[in-house]
């Protein structure tokens, strides 16, 4: 019994925007399951009352002054674009609005 179902693997691939073949999904199912088995060692650790560490540095309030600096030229901004038109990045049609 795998720790993660094929349907879950497919859902995660969708969330991650990865187009994968059925074969690749099946391989990933096995690999993710064995990795999750490995990770199980810490999932079971008692950590009640332990604060999470998101970051190794105890820094706060790193701010910059609101002063304009140089921008890229439009042609440099677009230089690496797979497709561009009218000074903008061109993409295939967008289905659905932004959330």
Partner 1 sequence: MPEGFDLVVGLEVHCELSTATKLFCACPNAFGSEPNTNVCPVCLGLPGSLPVLNERAVEFAIRIGRALNCEVRPAVFHRKNYFYPDMPKDYQITQYDEPTNVDGFLELRDGSRVGIVRAHIEEDTGKSTHLGGSGRIHGADHSLIDYNRAGVPLVEIVSAPDITSAAQAREYVSELRAVLVATGASDGRMEEGSLRVDANVSVRPAGAAELGTRCEIKNLNSLRSLVRAIEHEAARQAALVSAGGVVRQETRHWDEEAGVTHPLRSKEEAYDYRYFPEPDLVPLVPDAELIERAEAAIGLMPAARRERLVALVGEGDSPGLADQVQTAIELSLDQLVLDAVAAGAEPRLALARAANEAAAKAEGARALSATAFAELLGLESAGTLSATQSKQVLAVLIDEGGAPAEIARRLGFEALEGGEVESIIDEVVAANTAEWERYLAGDEKVAGFLLGQVMKASKGRANGKIVAAALAKRRG
Partner 2 sequence: MTLLGRGVAGIAAAVRSKEASAREVLAESLAAIEQLEGELHCFHTVMAERAEAAAAALDEKVARGEDPGLLAGVPVALKDNMCTKGTVTTCSSRILENWVPPYDATVVTRLRAAGAVVVGKTNLDEFAMGSSTENSAFGPTRNPWDTARVPGGSSGGSAAAVAAGMVPLAYGSDTGGSIRQPASLCGVVGVKPTYGLVSRYGLVAFASSLDQIGPFTLSVADSALGLEAVAGHDPADSTSIDRPATSYAGLLEEGVEGLRVGLIEDFVSEVSPSCAEAARAAAEALGAAGAKVEEVSIPEVLHGLPAYYVIAPAEASSNLARYDGVRYGLRVGGPDVAAMNARTRGAGFGKEVRRRVMVGTYALSAGYYDAYYGQAQRVRTLVVEAFARAYERFDVLVAPMTPSEAFRLGEKTANPLDMYVSDVCAVPSNLAGHPAVSVPFALGAEGLPVGVQVLAPALGEGLMYRAAAVLEQAAPPAARGPVRPGGERRA
State how far the Cα of 5 lies from the Cα of 29, in Å rounded to an integer: 7
Q: Among residue numbers 5 through 34, which ones bind partner 1 (CB under 8 A)?
A: 15, 17
Q: Which of 95, 97, 98, 99 binds partner 2 (CB under 8 A)?
A: 95
Q: Tokens representing 6?
A: 């094929």
The nearer residue to partner 2, 1 or 95, going by C-beta atoms, is 95
Length of the chain: 99
3-state secondary structure of 84: strand
* Contact residues: partner 1, CB under 8 A: 15, 17, 54-55, 57, 59-74, 77-78, 85-94, 96-99
């Amino acid at each position: 019994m795998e720790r993660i179902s094929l349907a879950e693997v497919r859902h995660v691939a969708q969330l991650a925007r990865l187009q994968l073949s059925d074969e690749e999904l099946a391989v990933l199912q096995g690999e993710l399951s064995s990795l999750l088995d490995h990770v199980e060692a810490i999932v079971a650790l008692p950590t009640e009352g332990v604060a999470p560490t998101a970051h190794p540095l105890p820094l706060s309030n790193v701010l910059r002054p609101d002063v304009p600096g140089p921008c890229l030229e439009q042609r440099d901004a677009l230089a690496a674009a797979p497709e561009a038109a009218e000074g903008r990045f061109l993409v295939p049609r967008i289905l659905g609005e932004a959330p």
